[in-house]
């Protein structure tokens, strides 16, 4: 068992994982049992806090992924899926130039967080097709 006291990035990512897991998938519900107060107009159900990671050399960490057109691209923005001790399973997020936002890919990487030096959070998003 790894001592997580020395892995502060894992602690931060675990909080993000829990926040994302506890996001209500019923954001557009109406009626007495909707999980929030107020109107649903313009209400956005955020389900992702995208992150970037920096290596011990101070470089932005990036990963390659396969595009839908059969090519290969690189991204440095990820969604935390699961944290295991000092490792994290991350979903690669792709930037969609048409909508100027990030979209979820179905491609994942596992990162040893002891090799990372810093984490930065981007603005929360409402991603589709998160299973």
Asked if residue 1 has pLDDT above 50, the reply is no
Task: Encode pLDDT of 21-41 as tens digits.
Answer: 887 655 555 556 555 555 554
How confident is the model at residue 117, as a pLDDT?
Answer: 94
Of 121, 89, 125, whose CA–CA distance to 108 is shortest?
Answer: 89
Angstrom CA distances, 39 to 23, 43, 86, 127, stand at: 18, 8, 41, 21
What single-letter DSSP state applies at residue 102? E
What is the percent of the chain with per-residue pLDDT over 90, rounded to a whole number?
63
Structural tokens at position 76: 């440095």
Instruction: Supply the pLDDT for residue 46.
Output: 83
pLDDT single digits (tens) 80-119: 999 999 999 999 999 999 999 999 999 999 999 999 999 9
Per-residue pLDDT averaged across 64-73, rounded?
92
Query: pTM of the predicted model, to two decimals?
Result: 0.82
């Amino acid at each position: 068992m790894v001592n997580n006291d020395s892995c502060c990035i894992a602690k931060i990512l675990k909080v993000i994982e829990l926040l994302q897991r506890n996001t209500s998938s019923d954001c557009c519900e109406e009626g007495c049992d909707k999980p929030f107060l107020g109107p649903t107009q313009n209400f956005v159900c955020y389900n992702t806090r995208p992150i970037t990671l920096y290596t011990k050399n101070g470089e932005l960490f990036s990963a390659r992924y396969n595009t839908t057109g059969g090519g290969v691209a690189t991204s440095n923005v990820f969604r935390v899926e699961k944290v295991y001790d000092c490792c994290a399973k991350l979903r690669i997020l792709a930037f969609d130039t048409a909508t100027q936002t990030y979209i979820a890919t179905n491609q994942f990487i596992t990162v040893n967080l002891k090799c990372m030096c810093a984490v930065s959070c981007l603005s929360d998003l409402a991603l589709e097709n998160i299973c």
